[in-house]
A and B are shown apart, each in its own frame.
Chain A
């Protein structure tokens, strides 16, 4: 008798849940890159306060984001490594850049302050290849006269998971080092010659923070939030630059989005005296013919809101908003390519 009653109660409860589920406002669901996660979550907070609609963004990595959107478990996927136009066409996806940022090398060496150390692309590549194994190496000393560096082994920290940050970082190293290009190459996960692997931007930040005499690479927001020791770089023009919004912006200013099919554009090693060499855009992927049109419309509303109101928040976290003309181009792309009606 008791069991019967319990069963009945459970049935009633189940029916009630099913009936009320659609009435609740569905959160916008997305998954992908960890690189833009700090800014997406900040935007999501503000958007929720304004509209009551939430964003459920899982920062699981670019590769996983692409996998999730292909499996149609999320409304949008996010990736730092853009997909080529043929791939977009094949899978019926639309891609656009949402925001830009910088990747910075970070170190943990006793006595070295942020911005004190400077490296050029070749030296950075050699460190990550294991060719330069000690901080006292003449190649580093030559660039850093006056900085006291220990005679200690360099502990390289890199990603263990597939990563858009890795894609942009290794793309830069491939452009500046022929040796890197032929032996390691660029992709979301490469065969690292040396180093320990850590999961996610936060994992690399944590490992570098823990390990003496280490070097890693993270998105600038992670370096800033964790108060890490960043390294200055010698850029393509041969000038020393610090990772600042201005330097990221200078690199982004060169980008020719209008002539990049599917917005496929990689911003590493851009010319210009003030350009930060490891600047990257992060991309959103959505279906041209979405299965759930209402969810797709909601997601686009959020991205449009972010273009309109999100620039200040982005700048606070040292991301670079897309230029106004590019935003208009992207809005046109939405209207033309995504069939929400």
Chain B
């Protein structure tokens, strides 16, 4: 799917929060939100980053667009190290250009718009600041995009305040604000979760339409597997499943939704309620609650909840098993036929929840 040169390339990215050894109790309270992640985002590619809250998907997304500095690893925008661009005097690609090229749409469009500014002002300001266009040209670009996403009659919408827009209209306003920078990549952080069910498909279609028009890549962060499927299936993109800071499985819709190998992906699939499907089998989980992220389990981080866990999973952290002929990767011993896992003993006390 992705061409030779990715738009954004992340290698060995680690992001840690908190400090060690200080504080009133002297505890080490470091949370490793992202744990040695590799991810390339191709030109025009759609990647859905899926996982439960606290899995690090938003942090990874923000790192990908240069909002969050990783504490380890490198991130490149078209070959230019983003950290270097920020720090050095004359990088090949200036940091301001990188920032303009990597945009974000937040979860709550209501709070992403200044309540005291008319829509047109919110849209004009960033365009004037970041481009050499005159006021007239700016307006022209805004009006064309607004027309395109259905904010019509445009004149009327441009003169409204954010509270006079519906949730869907606010989200479309935020979307065109990001699009008018002609970005290479947009991070859509749970951008449709706050919308009513009946509006979600419309919003996703709109994003895909704009992507086609401008060949923009999308990194779509979501906890919802159905939305991830819809977007990636329509765009031929990939789905990356995150658990406790790691991408545990990544691949195409067919690989992740139709034939998931990682037990965590299988659990997510089980947990996604489907209309038009008779009831599925019982819970594939051993434990209900997610471990405390400051005390990440030894070995495979999913083993305390994993129904397939064996003793080797308690001590050894699985690497990423790659597929020879695709970009599919899976961090589970079960993805390979020859591993000591298969001779390892099943974990005691593995009664399933339910």
Are both chains from one complex?
no
